[in-house]
């Protein structure tokens, strides 16, 4: 067994972690620039040397065994720390280079994160950036990411978090003047049940919740959606609302240009309560130089706001 362990290579372990992260040989091969057969062969060789099955393979999926998951959970932070150390060793103290990998919720990709990315890449031309967009709760360490962006209710407890974007946001309802003229304007959230509503659904399958608060009264309404779209199609949903197809509920900052132009009119605005904006979260143990530079940029942006 000792000889088998001594023969293990960094590349084989990297391939194994990529398969665990992506959930398949083909997707891992695409990420690594290898053929699927090469990826499969490397994992099989690793299993032979360890004398333990690491992956359960079916025609539809590849899932780690108990031993495989335990191995991946222990290897992932070690590989991330090694990568961080290598990045620190590259270049002088003033240079920032290497890979910054983020896992983010789709909500920040509309208008919060893109301008920050633009400034960051212009300032640090030697940095490579990979962004995984996922609305489900993700263990960023297991996913091989340096940091994540989530709203407070999705924050991992053992992480450091810094605000990114507006400190507060809110979900508001809006509809076109033509729709409200035709169907009337609801004066209480419970009246939404009788209206055509445009709902958004997260990639997890959950609908964006319509919660309302006014004074001491709080209410959650779940009207059937005449139109339901994924959050990645939020702009299409807003366009449908502008065209008069119903009442939409989504981030106020997404709707603001259409509210300013008059294409949409706010509905039940006094029932819309603010909530904390998104936060960048990361492990206190790992601080690769690209992440440190990105955090510094966020701090500069907030000080100028």
Lowest mean pLDDT among 73-82, 179-188, 241-250, 259-268: 73-82
pLDDT value, residue 89: 64
Is residue 250 over pLDDT 90? yes
pLDDT band, very low/low/confident/very high, at 2 (cuts 50, 70, 90) = very low
Lowest mean pLDDT among 33-42, 80-89, 230-239: 80-89
Q: Check if the beta carbon of residue 211 is closer than 8 Å to that of residue 218.
A: yes
Q: Which of 154, 157, 68, 158 is nearest to 103 (CA)?
A: 154
Structure tokens that stand for 148 in this block: 């994540």
Q: Is 62 helix (H, G, I), strand (E, B) or coil?
A: strand
- For domain 96-158+278-304, the CATH class is alpha beta
Range list of H helices, the chain? 2-6, 10-22, 25-32, 36-50, 66-89, 113-123, 177-183, 234-242, 252-261, 289-304
Q: Which residues contact 111 (CB under 8 A, 6 or more apart)?
A: 253, 254
Q: Which residues contact 14 (CB under 8 A, 6 or more apart)?
A: 32, 79
| Domain spans, the chain | 2-75, 96-158+278-304, 171-273
Is residue 217 over pLDDT 80? yes
- DSSP annotation string for 265-305: EEESGGG---EE--EEEE-TT---HHHHHHHHHHHHHHHH-
Q: Check if the beta carbon of residue 4 is closer than 8 Å to that of residue 52.
A: no
Residue with tokens 């590989």: 79
Per residue in 5-44, is it b (16+ CB within 10 Å) or e — as a string?
Answer: eeeeeeebbbbbbbbbbbebbebbbeebebeeeebbebbe
Is residue 130 over pLDDT 90? yes
Topology, domain 171-273: D-Maltodextrin-Binding Protein; domain 2 (3.40.190)
More confident residue, 155 or 23: 23
Question: CA-CA distances (angstroms) from residue 155 to 52, 175, 176, 295?
Answer: 35, 32, 35, 17
Structure tokens that stand for 58 in this block: 């079916």
Alpha carbons 63 and 55: distance in angstroms, whole number: 6
Q: Which residues contact 215 (CB under 8 A, 6 or more apart)?
A: none
**Predicted confidence (pLDDT) per residue in 16-33, tens digit:** 998 988 888 988 888 888
Equal fold, 2-75 vs 171-273: no
Alpha carbons 300 and 190: distance in angstroms, whole number: 43
- For domain 2-75, the CATH class is mainly alpha
pLDDT value, residue 266: 97
Question: What's the whole-number average pLDDT of the chain?
Answer: 87
Mean pLDDT over residues 70-88, rounded? 78
Q: Which of 100, 38, 86 is nearest to 297 (CA)?
A: 100
Lowest mean pLDDT among 78-82, 89-93, 171-175, 242-246: 89-93
């Amino acid at each position: 067994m000792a000889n088998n362990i001594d023969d293990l290579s960094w590349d084989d372990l990297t391939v194994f972690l990529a398969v665990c992260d992506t959930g398949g040989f083909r997707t891992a091969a695409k990420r690594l620039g290898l053929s699927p057969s090469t990826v499969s062969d490397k994992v099989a060789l690793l299993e032979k040397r360890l004398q333990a099955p690491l992956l359960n393979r079916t025609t539809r999926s590849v899932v780690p065994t108990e031993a495989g998951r335990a191995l991946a959970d222990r290897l992932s932070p070690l590989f991330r720390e090694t990568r961080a150390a290598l990045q620190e060793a590259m270049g002088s103290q003033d240079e920032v280079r290497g890979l910054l990998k983020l896992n983010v919720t789709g909500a920040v990709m509309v208008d919060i994160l893109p301008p920050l990315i633009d400034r960051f890449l212009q300032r640090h031309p030697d940095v490579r950036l990979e962004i995984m967009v996922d609305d489900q709760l993700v263990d960023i360490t297991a996913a091989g990411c340096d940091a994540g962006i989530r709203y407070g209710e999705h924050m991992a407890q053992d992480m450091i978090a810094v605000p990114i974007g507006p400190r507060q946001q809110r979900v508001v309802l809006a509809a076109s003047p033509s729709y409200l003229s035709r169907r009337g304007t609801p004066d209480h959230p419970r009246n939404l049940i009788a209206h055509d509503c445009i709902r958004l659904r997260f990639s997890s399958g959950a609908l964006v919740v319509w919660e309302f608060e006014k004074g001491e009264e709080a209410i959650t309404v779940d009207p059937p959606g005449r139109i339901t779209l994924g959050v990645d199609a939020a702009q299409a949903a807003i366009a449908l609302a502008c065209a008069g197809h119903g009442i939409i509920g989504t981030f106020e900052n997404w709707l603001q240009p259409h509210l300013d132009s008059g294409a949409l009119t706010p509905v039940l605005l006094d029932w819309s309560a603010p909530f904390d904006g998104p936060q960048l979260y990361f492990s206190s143990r790992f601080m690769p130089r690209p992440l440190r530079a990105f955090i510094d940029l966020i701090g500069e942006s907030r000080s100028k706001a």
